[in-house]
Structure 1
Amino acid sequence: MSAYTDPVQTLTVEQSWEHLRSQELGRLVTRVGETIDIFPVNYAVDGDGLLFRTAPGNKLFELTVNEDVLFEVDDHTDTEAWSVVVRGRAQALETDADVQRAEGAGLRPWIPTDKRVYVRIVPTSVSGRGFRREPEPDRDGPQEY
């Protein structure tokens, strides 16, 4: 019998959402043609989606060309870590009702810039992994198969 236990755990969708709710900074990945970009954004969980604010520029332009995005959030301590990836579609909110609801989410820019456009990511999938942080296995002794 092996004493080996896998240090990588697949998180449930519920656990992944719990982790998403615990943070406020993530990375948005966009793709337009052959160009892939990544943007750090502060965000808030809103029901079954994610909200962030932005201003006109590359990020917003890229989302209008291709709304398919990845969004990644992670965190760690000395003993554990986790990573959650959201695949989905990002769309700027257009109706007054949607914007008013988004304003109630308490989302504020981290830097003093005018970010009047709210964007909602509607997930098509949410997946996550948890990691135990322990010393590296012995490289010189017998190896488990």
Structure 2
Amino acid sequence: MSQERVDHLLTSHRHEMPGRLVELDVDECWELLRRTPVGRLAWNGAAGPTVVPVNYVATSDGIVVKTTAYSAAVRETDDSPITFQVDHIDPETRTGWSVLAHGRLDVDWSFGRVDAPEVDVWPAGPRPLRLQLEISTISGRRLTD
């Protein structure tokens, strides 16, 4: 996707009425996923609903997260339904957007795959396991200014 198209997608909402919620199309949702380094992974775990912030990479067909072998995400999500959310809010202009994806998460137990996309993980320490979210539905909304 060209930078011109990306800029258009991200600014085309400006002609809308202020304070209006506008549905994002699938392409916009994917573009916003690709441009945002942190999202939230949510699942129904042993202690009930669980939400954790994670660094990730959006691939052509899903989301990749790297984590430790002892994380709650690994223990509780393999082949489980999950939700993934990214958003951006500007309190000064009272605008923002949110993208929500639903799918299944698979733990890739093949440590250090050569073909794995590089995830820029912010917390220190090794994160050898890949979690692959296969997205079944994706939607988003923008609050216009």
- When normalised by structure 1's length, the TM-score is 0.78
Uncovered stretches (5+) of structure 1, i.e. residues with no partner: 134-145
Say if 2:23 is the partner of 1:10.
Answer: yes
Whole-Å Cα distance in 2 between the matches of residues 23 and 33 of structure 1? 29
- Structure 1 residue 34, shift from structure 2 partner: 6.8
| 1:40-55 correspondence runs (5 A) | 40-55=53-68
CA RMSD of aligned residues (A): 2.2
Uncovered stretches (5+) of structure 2, i.e. residues with no partner: 1-15
Whole-Å Cα distance in 1 between the matches of residues 133 and 108 of structure 2? 10
Q: Partner of 1:113 in structure 2?
A: 125
Percent of aligned pairs with the same amino acid: 25
Q: Secondary structure at the match of 1:109?
A: coil
- Structure 1 residue 94, shift from structure 2 partner: 3.8
- Deviation string 1:73-116 (CA, Å, 9 cap, x unpaired) is 001345431000000011012457x93221xx221320111211
User: 1:74·1:83 contact (CA, 8 Å) conserved in 2?
Assistant: yes
User: 1:53·1:115 contact (CA, 8 Å) conserved in 2?
Assistant: yes
Amino acid corresponding to residue 58 of structure 1 in structure 2:
A
| 1:61-140 correspondence runs (5 A) | 61-64=75-78, 67-77=80-90, 78-79=92-93, 80-95=95-110, 99-102=113-116, 105-133=117-145
Q: Which has the larger radius of gyration?
A: 1
Whole-Å Cα distance in 1 between the matches of residues 124 and 47 of structure 2? 32
Q: Secondary structure at the match of 2:114?
A: helix
Whole-Å Cα distance in 2 between the matches of residues 32 and 38 of structure 1? 9
- When normalised by structure 2's length, the TM-score is 0.78
Q: Secondary structure at the match of 1:115?
A: coil
User: 1:51·1:119 contact (CA, 8 Å) conserved in 2?
Assistant: yes
- Structure 1 residue 32, shift from structure 2 partner: 3.1
User: 2:110·2:129 contact (CA, 8 Å) conserved in 1?
Assistant: no
Whole-Å Cα distance in 1 between the matches of residues 65 and 113 of structure 2? 11
- Structure 1 residue 70, shift from structure 2 partner: 0.3
